[in-house]
Structure 1
Amino acid sequence: MTTPTWDPAQYLRHAGHRARPFADLLARVPGLPAGRPRIADLGCGPGNVTALLAARWPTARITGYDNSPDMLDRARTEHEGPTPGGGLLDFAHADARTWTPAEPHDLIISNATLQWVPGHTGLFARWTESLTPGGTLALQVPGNFDAPSHRLMRDLAARHGVTDALRHDDAVLTPAAYLERLCALGCTVDAWETTYTHLLQGEDPVLDWVKGTGLRPVLTALADDPETRDAFLDDYRAALREAYPATDHGTPFPFRRVFVVARKRD
């Protein structure tokens, strides 16, 4: 799979819709210890949802990790620094595939990131071992890889010669599969799925949405071939208009997501 380059401004064009699953995940995370809990946000992106962690735990020491320099620059510029409750929010470069906690954490959380990490369940043992007793591993991943938006993306990418850009077949597991793996690591697990129906506005809003996330590997792979890129986008735009027709109120965009909250036993 092509390693994508990221555009924080494009990603944030649908920030409200994208933040809602994180808020729903956060609502199911149990309380953390009093004092100065330690929190890691893996795949923090531009930091807008990492800031929600500081709002809930204002005394916490929170670090957002990402492997995109552009995303980290945006996060540091807009969110880094002391928090009103006496905590601290900072950001650091790291790849989730190799990140190993350097100290015990009360919460490790990841929002719409692990679908980019092949074999990410193999990392759970390392992360849960680093949790404090009663600590939590929480994650949310998109589960819409069989949706028209992604099936069309894969088919058209292959038709335009971008055969290795996308990896979706086994990108995420079912809630039951996540539950099984984390229970085996000694955690108490809450796993579920939700399908949101986002009502998007504007011209070709589904294309605009995927340009910020799932389409990034294709756009990266075709960055040096603008003619092929534009031909692909023309075909993809037309296919998305048919798959997601606009209504008088906007364009409905169903989006399934998978959630897991795993609490390490005391």
Structure 2
Amino acid sequence: MSAATTPTWDPAQYLRHAGHRARPFIDLLARVPDLPGDRPRIADLGCGPGNVTALLAERWPTAHITGHDNSVEMLDKAHVEHEGPTAGGGRLDFAHADVRTWTPTEPYDLIISNATLQWVPDHGRRFGAWVQGLRTGGTFAFQVPGNFDAPSHRLMRALAPRYGLADTLRHEDAVLTPGTYLARLADLGCVADVWETTYVHLLTGEDPVLDWVKGTGLRPVLTALADDPARRDAFLAEYRAALREAYPAGAHGTPFPFRRIFAVARKEA
């Protein structure tokens, strides 16, 4: 298992940009159709601290929803802040699981994943098992970042070899093209809707793009250099300077373009 797939997570850092990070999930959720069950069974793969998993309970208040993640730190936050019965008589709970190997053990009405599958090598090969685990009329839905060729990632990868981290970070092939996702889901007998959107987040504060990636894309570097603070700080100083040039602050904040890819696939009979 490479360091790129096993970063140590910091829920507080991740949630510093919670509003911006939740928006793609809200947009994804808006395209999910009605589910077949009156008391739907839902799995959220890569639930993180549970803040967006809780939005599923608002949409389907009678559902039994389980958020799955392999980060103890994230799950601890989710258990404390979001677990328990829901207002409509459903339940929200969380469980430790590795998305690379998780397979449904009961029929699901919805399997959903928000900004997680980019951490799963060759994740398209998992789609068959997940679609097979859906009830007829159930939905598999996900969104992944599509910005691995953006300056935030290219600059990170360019610096990594100088710090002995050449194999630590993900590359452009961490996600598939929208057309490839559409074809794979259609081949599985789904009616699929696939699209992409580029958000332009207006970030505030000092070095806000660096602050953003410290919660996600930079986690493998921070994990690998955790026991070498001098080398970590040197990396961050170089990376910070490069990000300031690539994402200059404007009069109202720092614009941060962020492309994302979405898919909603309904299982047919």
Equivalent residue, structure 1, for 2:49? 46
Mapped partners of 1:248, 1:161: distance in 2: 38
How many residues align structurally?
266
Equivalent residue, structure 2, for 1:241? 244
Q: Does 1:146 align with 2:159?
A: no
Partner-residue secondary structure (3-state), 1:197: strand
**Which residue of 187, 192, 206 maps to 2:195?**
192
Shift of 1:169: 2.8
Q: So what's the TM-score if we normalise by structure 1?
A: 0.99
Identity %: 78
Equivalent residue, structure 2, for 1:36? 39
**Which residue of 94, 99, 102 maps to 2:102?**
99
Equivalent residue, structure 2, for 1:79? 82
Whichever residue aligns with residue 128 of structure 1, its letter is V
**Which residue of 164, 175, 179 maps to 1:176?**
179
Q: So what's the TM-score if we normalise by structure 2?
A: 0.98
Shift of 1:209: 0.1
Equivalent residue, structure 2, for 1:164? 167
Shift of 1:32: 1.1
Whichever residue aligns with residue 57 of structure 1, its letter is W
**Which residue of 228, 233, 241 maps to 2:231?**
228
Q: Does 1:110 align with 2:113?
A: yes
Partner-residue secondary structure (3-state), 1:29: coil
Mapped partners of 1:160, 1:206: distance in 2: 21
Mapped partners of 2:95, 2:251: distance in 1: 44
Equivalent residue, structure 2, for 1:7? 10
Mapped partners of 1:9, 1:168: distance in 2: 26
**Which residue of 211, 215, 218 maps to 2:214?**
211
Whichever residue aligns with residue 114 of structure 2, its letter is N
What is the CA RMSD across the aligned residues, in angstroms?
0.7
Whichever residue aligns with residue 70 of structure 1, its letter is E
Partner-residue secondary structure (3-state), 1:19: helix
Partner-residue secondary structure (3-state), 1:110: strand
Mapped partners of 1:34, 1:185: distance in 2: 21
Contact 2:178 2:261 (C-alpha < 8 Å) held by counterparts: yes
Shift of 1:167: 1.7
Q: Does 1:260 align with 2:260?
A: no
Contact 2:37 2:109 (C-alpha < 8 Å) held by counterparts: no
Contact 2:36 2:137 (C-alpha < 8 Å) held by counterparts: no
Equivalent residue, structure 1, for 2:124? 121
Partner-residue secondary structure (3-state), 1:170: helix
Shift of 1:174: 1.1
Partner-residue secondary structure (3-state), 2:165: coil
Equivalent residue, structure 2, for 1:131? 134
Shift of 1:33: 2.7
Shift of 1:34: 4.6
Whichever residue aligns with residue 141 of structure 2, its letter is A
Shift of 1:158: 1.5
Shift of 1:190: 0.1
Alignment gaps of 5+ in structure 2: none
Contact 2:47 2:69 (C-alpha < 8 Å) held by counterparts: yes
